[in-house]
Structure 1
């Protein structure tokens, strides 16, 4: 049987974010397993596209042949509810939800309500929904009315990489995530200030251009706190594994994560972790590998960092636990296989 699908996505597929990395690897592995995957770009600005971009995206999607299998990234699909209802019977629509749009940090209540309503309506028109974590699956069942039987959880794969040496002097703290409010870099910076009396160096790796205002605010925060010689905003890197390999501690104060691929990467390279009880993070980071604190609790985050900075032995024990957990993580072949099985059922 010929297995073909159209993969529709917003923005630029080559962007260096966890969501787009997931999309790229899934496309690659589906093709490697025999799927014919046609790419369909829907334009920029989602989930808040211009009226023109939205109209063009809808025209492109409407041009698909009857019964076409369509896998569409939720960043766009969540606001295509009107189009989805019109074509739900004609097309085989499968939504790929990295995390619900309404849970993005920084949205006012009105926008949250609007996004929740549109995404709920769009998901009701999908034949099936693929999510990247059990936490997102629970969210869609409990708050979006999606039936559990209509959801496939396809955890992100993790590439194997050399273990971190963990012998930095002073210890090196690495954080990886787009410079956006949701990633909580402001909390990390404030927590590092509280540990200014200890020896450490920190590197924050992440795209500075997707949210220039946040990037500028973080630069100003670092300068105002007098930490410019100790915290480096690295920008994007081609291979985050190289940064992690040089780290002693991985720290990211995300306010929400649909999965948090970078946490899995840190585990796979045997790094102790400091993070927050946010979204899927507790599902990804075992208790013995990381210290998780409440979201936006600078004092608690600072205390967790201090524990690891002051105790090389605890860092070592948590690093061993991280490596053990990382060895059990799925591969990208596993991820694509789960998705492929779900798509096969629809075909």
Structure 2
């Protein structure tokens, strides 16, 4: 598009870069590692109100993006980019690469009106991007089919995974682990409902994830747990420090991700890096992130199917061992963060991958 040579890249990210989500974790890794692949990158902080910016936030966004050097590339996180009106983007005379973790309109709990607004906004925004980086082939297919983004404009850069020791588990009671912010999309309400018929089995659940992103959902989940009289079996520790999360993974017997949709599912990859048996939904990219042999997969939102899968895994140790072995084997082949950064750098530098 604008015919400008690349001398610097500015990575525009809305809100607090230290937010404990997979998307922000991905962004932090790129900021750290892109320089190793020939990309001089600096962070631009956009307003934290995205994807629902005020007019003042949009004006601030224009000012921030235009503060980038005239000959720089803008890498813009999709949480903000997909919600930017065309009138804002057209004021930015820079080369733009959009980073899409997953389409904004596919977030759970949106009204139909809001979903349609976000879909139209993101479609228009993506049409103005020079390139698009996505975190899974599934997201690439969605953008191609539903957003009109040509395949040759898209680079797939799977999230990396750090090497880890194989988990040993606990065994009695069986420890279940979920990792992810408590929001409607993560479907923890479906998990609690699915566990109700399995009270006679000896299990405990840790749901490790931020509790401040959707307080209404957190309150409803706590009420659901209390009504089911599961307070002594289900724990919501919130965001935990890395050492505590490592201990959770180490002591886990079964990893569960009931999400309604995932753009990739970084926690699934982390579970496989530790060789954990997995139960997950087939929502979004999750069905492809985990191979069939490593997980019992259920349709998103299907309580009965999730109950059946949980019962099978909780009562059949040999099944858990088979799933764990396949998980560990696949975990050895997961991409590293070096590979992630290399692919994003190639997109920035116009190097074929």
Identify the TM-score tier after normalising by the shorter chain: over 0.9
- In the other structure, the counterpart of 1:247 is 252
Aligned to 2:27: 23
- The question of 1:14 aligning with 2:15 is answered no
SS at match of 1:158: coil
**How far, CA to CA, are the matches of 2:161 and 2:91 in structure 1?**
35
1:7-38 per-residue CA deviation (whole Å, 9 max, x = no partner) reads: 00001100000000000011111123342211
Per the TM alignment, residue 43 of structure 1 is displaced from its structure 2 partner at its CA by: 1.1
The question of whether the paired residues in 1 share the 8 Å contact of 2:278 and 2:294 is answered with yes
Inter-CA distance 3–327: structure 2 relative to 1 (3 Å threshold): farther
Distance 2:7 2:327 in 1: 38
Matching residue of 2:342? 337
The Cα of 1:213 is off from its aligned counterpart by 1.1
Q: Which runs of 5+ in 1 are unaligned?
A: none
TM-score, with length taken from structure 1: 0.96
After superposition, residues 144-163 of structure 1 pair within 5 angstroms as 144-163=147-166
2:52 matches 1:56 = no
Q: 2:14 matched to 1:33?
A: no
The SS at the match of 1:235 is coil
- Give 2:225's aligned residue: 222
> Equivalent of 1:47, from 32, 36, 51?
51
> Corresponding residue for 1:310?
315
Describe the SS at the equivalent of 1:175: strand
Structure 1 residue runs of 4+, over 4 Å off? none
> What is the aligned partner in structure 2 of residue 121 from structure 1?
124
Q: C-alpha deviations, 1:124-163, integer Å up to 9, x for none?
A: 1001000000000000000000010000000000001111
Q: Work out the CA distance in 2 between the residues paired with 1:242 and 1:234.
A: 13
2:328 is aligned, of 311, 323, 328, to 323
Per the alignment, residue 290 of structure 2 pairs with 285
Kindly report which structure 2 residues correspond to 1:92-241, keeping only aligned pairs within 5 A, or say none: 92-239=95-242, 240-241=245-246
Cα distance change on mapping 1:3 and 1:283 into 2, 3 Å: farther
Give the structure-2-normalised TM-score: 0.95
The match for 2:305 among 269, 284, 300 is 300
Q: Equivalents in 2 of 1:55, 1:195: separation in Å?
A: 53
Q: CA deviation at 1:84?
A: 5.2
- 8 A contact 2:7–2:40 mirrored in 1: yes
SS of residue matched to 2:297: strand
Cα distance in 2 for residues equivalent to 1:130 and 1:76? 14
Corresponding position of 1:79: 83
Is the deviation greater in 156-165 or in 42-51?
42-51
Is the Cα–Cα contact under 8 Å of residues 293 and 323 in structure 2 kept in the other structure?
A: yes
Equivalence for 2:276: 271
Q: 1:159-188: CA deviations, max 9, x gaps?
A: 011111034211100011101000000011
Q: Using the TM superposition, name which of 166-175 and 215-224 deviates more.
A: 166-175
**1:343, 1:24 → 2: CA distance?**
17
For residues 139 and 96 of structure 2, the distance between their equivalents in structure 1, rounded to whole angstroms, comes to 19
Output the aligned Cα RMSD: 1.6
